[in-house]
Structure 1
């Protein structure tokens, strides 16, 4: 794993980079399998048995079974793949996002309509009180 990751200093944020992609590969492949109706049926008929067909860690399997999407993300899951679990359960992306923030679907919807979360408490470490947003040096995009 790369050790020089200056972007890891955003409180409460798990960034999906190449290392996380490797860590969550089997979890994300399981999620992608849910794109097929027959796999969704097999999963819903016996979730643990279906998960055991995938080379996921026990922690990843437990997070899926608990529908703990925040833990799935910490274990390498990508939210766009994890959305397949919510869809399989008949949940909208908005419902899933609300559950990940500890809000009801309506509270989450209202927050997003009002402009989203406040930047306060969500800046890069060392930026607190800095009126200027973090910018990359000129010439780098």
Structure 2
């Protein structure tokens, strides 16, 4: 993943790096998989062959590290939903705001670059 200013770019290299973590998070779209994950998160991560760094990021819910490791926001959102977290929550995490502040910023027209 190339980090330019505060923007993450999920390019081919990052996608390859994050394949296991994205595959695991993507599997959480299935209700049975969410149940199995919740029963034993560490074992579930191992079943998807996450390396130690990826597994640690998942288990600690270190959302920013997940992106650094090549995770896609679209897949990590599936993990956030397991924790009953919203897109606005993740947006806040990635911008240093609360979910409410992030929501208000988006309602008022989003980020202004200048």
Alpha-carbon contact 2:36-2:44 (below 8 Å) kept: yes
Moved over 6 A (4+): none
Secondary structure of residue in 1 paired with 2:70: coil
Structure richer in helix, relative to its length: 2
Aligned to 2:105: 111
The TM-score, its normalising length taken from structure 2, stands at: 0.90
Q: Structure 1: which 5+ runs fail to align?
A: 1-7, 121-141
What is the aligned partner in structure 2 of residue 72 from structure 1?
A: 66
Describe how 1:84-123 pairs up with structure 2 within 5 A: 84-120=78-114
Report the equivalent of 2:49.
Answer: 55
User: 1:39 deviation in Å?
Assistant: 0.8
TM-score (norm 1): 0.74
Mapped contact 2:18–2:69 kept (Cα < 8 A)? yes
Q: How far apart are 1:9 and its partner, in Å? A: 7.0
The answer to whether 1:10 aligns with 2:9 is no
Rg bigger for which structure? 1
Two-structure CA RMSD over aligned residues (Å):
1.5
> Greater share of strand residues, 1 or 2?
2
- From the superposition, tell whether residues 9 and 101 of structure 1 become closer, same or farther in structure 2 (CA, over 3 Å): closer
Structure 2: stretches of 5+ with no match in the other structure = none
